[in-house]
């Protein structure tokens, strides 16, 4: 039984990373109605910014995280400005494909920086283990869960009470009406990409502080947040968090139980379990758990 709870706890920690990434996807989607396939590159680049400021500029973990977030946000704004702003009003699919192009180009640069060596970010006292009710959790994961919780709360307050948050919600509802009300919609797009870039940088930094660190193929992790947003519903912020956690937990449960319960699914099925979960959820609810159903008009 403790095996199950341990798996749930580990999944929750891993799911926090997916939740951070999923929030980025959803915020961009709500503001601009585009799915950004550039999130993997933003995650890797954000992680590398933190890595660079730690290893080259000698910052500690937390200052490096802040620097990584700031530079990640800046990168998000640059991507929006250069690649997406000229395409305003074009079909959303075109914009989505452009973000794929951005992703490929940015990742080449990131891989060029990394070379063949993994880039780990040491978390202070990261391997120190805590025991709660017989479950083991590392210091790094406690910090990850705490940071995610803080981010979610801050974002919720931001959207609910700040002027900019209100402007973002208005833009998500209707871009034209917001323009008429004096909201600078372009600035809102930039802000959405900045938030998404910063969130991706947090995720990248924490990914780099587990296991081997950032590698050439670490970017695949960010794609697993896609099932998360589909499960939660593309335009739902609580859905992104819940979907992210669900994906992490399913992945961990599959890693622990699938080899003994369903060995015919092959080795490492855990890696694709989120996609399988996505298929099942979509067959039952085509707009995810919390997504808004599209209203059709001829």
Partner 1 sequence: MSSLLSNRNISSKPARKSTGVRGRPLLRTSYAQEITLANTAAKRRGVIAIVVLGFLIPWLVTDDLLSILTLGVISAVGAIGLNLVTGYAGQVSLGHAFFIGIGAYTAAVIGGSPTSQAIGYGLPMWIWLPAAGIVAAAFGLVVGPIAVRLRGLYLAIVTLGLVFIGEHFFREARSITGGQGVGRRGAKLELFGIDFASSEPIAGLSREQAQFFLALVFLIIFAVIGRNIARSAVGRAFAAVRDRDVAAAVIGVDLTKYKIMAFALSSFFAGVTGAMYYAVVGVFEPSAFGLLLSIKFIAMVLIGGVATISGSIMGALFIALLPRMSMEIAHLLPFLTNFITVFQLEAILYGVLIIVFLIFEPRGIYGIWLRIRNYWKGWPFSY
Binding site for partner 1 (CB under 8 A): 35, 83, 86-87, 90, 92-94, 96-98, 100-109, 111-112, 223, 226-227, 229-230, 234, 265-269, 271-272, 275-276, 278-279, 282-283, 286-287, 294, 296-298
**In the bound complex, what is the minimum distance in angstroms from residue 180's beta carbon to partner 1?**
26
Residues 6+ apart with CB under 8 A from 148: 16, 17, 19, 20
Beta carbon nearer to partner 1, 104 or 154:
104
The DSSP call for residue 119 is B
Contact 289, 232 (CB under 8 A): yes
Tokens 């998360």 found at: 228
| Residue 86 CB, nearest approach to partner 1 (Å) | 6
Rounded least distance, CB 129 to partner 1, Å: 32
Q: Which is nearer to partner 1, 87 or 146 (CB)?
A: 87
Query: Among 209, 182, 257, 187, which residue's Cα sits nearest to residue 17?
Result: 209
Residue 111 or 139 having the CB closest to partner 1: 111
Nearer to partner 1, 25 or 123 (CB): 25
Return the number of the residue (119 or 224) whose C-beta is nearest partner 1. 224
Q: How far is the CB of 40 from partner 1 (least distance, A)?
A: 10
Q: Is the dihedral of CA 38, 244, 263, 283 positive or negative?
A: negative
- In angstroms, what is the minimal distance from the CB of 112 to partner 1? 6
To the nearest 5 percent, what fractions of the chain are helix, strand and coil?
Answer: 75, 5, 25
Least gap, CB of 61 to partner 1 (angstroms) = 30
* Shortest distance (Å) from residue 44 CB to partner 1: 14
Q: Specify burial of residue 261 (Cβ count, 10 A radius: 0-12, 13-18, 19+).
A: exposed
For partner 1, the closer of residues 20 and 254 by Cβ is: 254
Do residues 227 and 278 touch, judged by C-beta distance below 8 A?
yes
Report the nearest approach of partner 1 to the CB of residue 30 (Å): 13
Say whether 132 sits in a helix, a strand or coil.
strand
Please give the span between the terminal C-alpha atoms of the chain, in angstroms, as a whole number: 54
CA atoms of 267 and 119, how far apart (whole Å): 27
124 vs 266, which CB is nearer to partner 1?
Answer: 266
Count Cβ atoms within 10 A of the Cβ of residue 211 and give its class: 0-12 exposed, 13-18 middle, 19 or more buried: exposed
Q: Name the nearest CA neighbour of 25 among 40, 33, 35, 15.
A: 35
Q: Give whichever of 15 and 40 is closer to partner 1, judged by the CB atom.
A: 40
């Amino acid at each position: 039984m403790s095996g199950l709870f341990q798996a749930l706890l580990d999944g929750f920690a891993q799911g926090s990373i997916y939740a951070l990434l999923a929030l980025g996807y959803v915020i961009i989607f709500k503001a601009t109605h585009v799915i950004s396939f550039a999130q993997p590159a933003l995650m890797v680049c954000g992680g590398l910014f933190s890595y660079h400021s730690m290893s080259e500029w000698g910052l500690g973990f937390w200052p490096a995280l802040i620097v990584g977030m700031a530079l990640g946000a800046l990168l998000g704004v640059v991507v929006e400005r250069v690649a997406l702003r000229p395409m305003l009003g074009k079909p959303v699919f075109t914009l989505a494909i452009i973000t794929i192009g951005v992703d490929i180009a940015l990742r080449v640069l990131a891989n060029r920086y990394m070379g063949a060596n993994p880039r780990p970010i040491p978390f202070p006292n990261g391997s120190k283990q805590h025991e709660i009710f017989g479950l083991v959790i590392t210091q790094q994961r406690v910090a990850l869960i705490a940071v995610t919780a803080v981010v979610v709360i801050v974002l919720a307050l931001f959207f609910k009470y700040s002027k900019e948050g209100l402007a973002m919600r208005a833009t998500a509802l209707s871009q034209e009406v917001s323009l008429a009300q004096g909201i600078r919609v372009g600035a809102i797009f930039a802000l959405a990409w900045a938030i998404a870039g910063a969130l991706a940088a947090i995720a990248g930094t924490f990914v780099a502080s587990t296991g081997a660190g950032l590698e050439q193929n670490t970017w695949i992790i960010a794609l697993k947040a896609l099932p998360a947003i589909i499960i939660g519903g593309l335009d739902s912020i609580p859905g992104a968090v819940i979907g992210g956690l669900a994906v992490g937990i399913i992945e961990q449960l599959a890693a622990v139980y699938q080899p003994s319960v369903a060995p015919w699914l092959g080795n490492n099925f855990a890696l694709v379990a989120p996609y399988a979960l996505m298929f099942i959820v979509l067959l039952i609810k085509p707009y995810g758990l919390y997504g808004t159903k599209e209203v059709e008009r001829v």
